[in-house]
């Protein structure tokens, strides 16, 4: 994967911002260092690519704030032998970060345009272990199978049982849960042999998960 040619000073500030927000997992920090965020934002926003802010992308969606991406990735605890599902591909940035940490990543998006652009970017960066699928994350196609980790990057009113059923034993799911208008709570579920452990982590603001494939584009 090509390393970004961005000014080292700005990338150093970027890493410091992630650490200040409490992210300490070195593998996660390295993945954040290696993924060139400037390639995932609109051309007009490139100068802001390494600021710790969410930015608008196509189809009225957003690429999340880097410290939230890093925090969610850290909470997911994905390992090189894991199969990971992301719901809400958006720009493909979070999927690119996960591709450095997991074995295989399947990411689903309901907008065709976003899915196509993300697929192109990820291919250009050489993220060969990521598959971008145009699908409704609210009803994951059966053929996608089961996952060790599930990361949802759009806000859900609650976590559907059907999604928890897609987790392998000992699997972890991280999702923003709450009202569409936000704020939402970031929730982490772990599937145990006796049921499900649930923890509420931090407050976040995500665009809502909407059901169905988008008809517009």
Q: Which residues belong to the active site?
A: 64
Going by C-alpha positions, the residue among 152, 136, 212, 208 that lies closest to residue 179 is 208
Shortest CB 94 distance to ligand SAH, Å: 3
Q: What are the structure tokens assigned to 44, written together?
A: 């007009």
Looking at 4, 73, 153, 184, which residue binds ligand SAH (CB under 6 A)? 153
Alpha helices in the chain (DSSP H): 8-20, 26-34, 66-76, 93-99, 112-124, 161-164
Looking at 83, 100, 110, 119, which residue binds ligand SAH (CB under 6 A)? 110
DSSP code for 89:
-
**Interface residues for ligand SAH in 9-38 (CB under 6 A)?**
none
Shortest CB 195 distance to ligand SAH, Å: 26
**Interface residues for ligand SAH in 79-108 (CB under 6 A)?**
87-88, 90-91, 93-94, 108
**Given the rule CB under 6 A, which residues bind ligand SAH?**
61-64, 87-88, 90-91, 93-94, 108-111, 114, 136-138, 153-154, 207, 209-211
């Amino acid at each position: 994967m090509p390393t970004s040619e961005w000014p080292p000073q700005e990338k150093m500030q970027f890493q410091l911002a992630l650490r200040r927000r409490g992210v300490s997992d070195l593998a996660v920090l390295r993945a954040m260092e290696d993924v060139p965020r400037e390639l995932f934002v609109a051309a007009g926003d490139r100068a802001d690519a390494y600021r710790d802010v969410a930015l608008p992308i196509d189809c009225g969606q957003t690429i999340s704030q880097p410290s939230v991406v890093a925090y969610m990735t850290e909470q997911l605890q994905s390992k090189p032998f894991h199969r990971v599902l992301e719901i809400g591909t958006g720009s493909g940035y979070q999927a690119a970060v996960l591709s450095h940490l997991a074995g295989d990543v399947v990411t689903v998006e309901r907008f065709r345009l976003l899915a196509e652009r993300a697929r192109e970017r990820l291919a250009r960066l050489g993220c060969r272990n990521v598959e971008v699928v145009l699908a409704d994350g609210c009803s994951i196609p059966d053929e996608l199978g089961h996952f060790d980790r599930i990361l949802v990057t759009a806000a859900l009113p609650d976590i559907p049982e059907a999604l928890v059923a897609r987790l392998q034993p000992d699997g972890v799911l991280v999702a923003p849960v709450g009202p569409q208008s936000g704020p939402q709570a970031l929730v982490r579920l772990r599937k145990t042999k006796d049921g499900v452990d649930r923890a509420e982590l931090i407050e976040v603001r995500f665009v809502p998960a909407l059901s169905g494939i988008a008809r517009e584009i």
